[in-house]
Amino acid sequence: SQQGEEDPQALSIQEGENATMNCSYKTSINNLQWYRQNSGRGLVHLILIRSNEREKHSGRLRVTLDTSKKSSSLLITASRAADTASYFCATAPGGATNKLIFGTGTLLAVQP
Amino acid sequence: DAGVIQSPRHEVTEMGQEVTLRCKPISGHNSLFWYRQTMMRGLELLIYFNNNVPIDDSGMPEDRFSAKMPNASFSTLKIQPSEPRDSAVYFCASSSASAPKGYTFGSGTRLTVV
């Protein structure tokens, strides 16, 4: 069963705008990760945030984590047409496991 | 490194036939995961291995599905007999269990059972 749910399911913006995607999950976690999937391709790891971290940056990406609300957000600044893809959050459940449970994904379309 | 290598990229088979999907993880990664992706159910974890040992196969839908990892550089996912509802994209991913930095996914196998 899926642990996370992304919101919105689909997002369409203009190039240069910022895109924000949200993820909610249900159980305690060790870390939360964001992945990108281009159409017809495999998933690509973007960023990992640990349960004791609140914010992390990587280039144009900013991820926040609120464990009290069991939620995370991914912000892509100054979006480009090449950012068009599906974005998934994935949670590593607490305990001695390294499996990831993926959310439902947000389909981002960046219009040139 | 060539990344996680999956074969075949596409497979079309008739209902009732046996299907074998193959995966070569990244050298040095000691965890391997099989996922299935469909529009209806999204990404589902089927099974994963640590150090070639199956750890959690609770996501394997039925006894028709089986997975093996005979050594650190090779894994197979077998469906016998296949059914139309098995049609999906099957992904293999690998990671280092001791230093979680995210998974590396293969390009997937698109399976169509007719």
**pLDDT one-digit tens code per residue, B41-65:** 999 999 999 999 999 999 998 899 9
pLDDT score of A47:
96
Q: Which chain B residue lies closest to A43 (C-alpha atoms)?
A: B105
**pLDDT one-digit tens code per residue, A33-77:** 999 999 989 999 999 999 999 999 999 999 999 999 999 999 999
Between chains, do B105 and A33 touch, taking CB under 8 Å as contact? no
Between chains, do B42 and A105 touch, taking CB under 8 Å as contact? yes
**∠ CA(A76), CA(A24), CA(A70), 5° rounding?**
110
Lowest-confidence region among A27-31, B16-20, B63-67? A27-31
Q: A-chain residues within 8 Å CB-CB of B88?
A: none
Q: Which of B4, B103, B108 sits opposite A100 (nearest CB)?
A: B103
- Residue identified by tokens 């068009």 is A84
| Residue A1 banded pLDDT, cuts 50, 70, 90 | very low
Does residue B40 surpass a pLDDT of 80? yes
Lowest-confidence region among A90-99, B19-28, B76-85, B89-98? A90-99
Q: Which of A98, A101, A107 to mutate to test the interface with B (most CBs of B within 10 A)?
A: A98
- Give chain A as a DSSP string: ----EEE-SEEEEETTS-EEEEEE-SS-EEEEEEEEE-TTS-EEEEEEEETT-SEEEETTEEEEEETTTTEEEEEE-S--GGG-EEEEEEEEESSS----EE---EEEEEE-
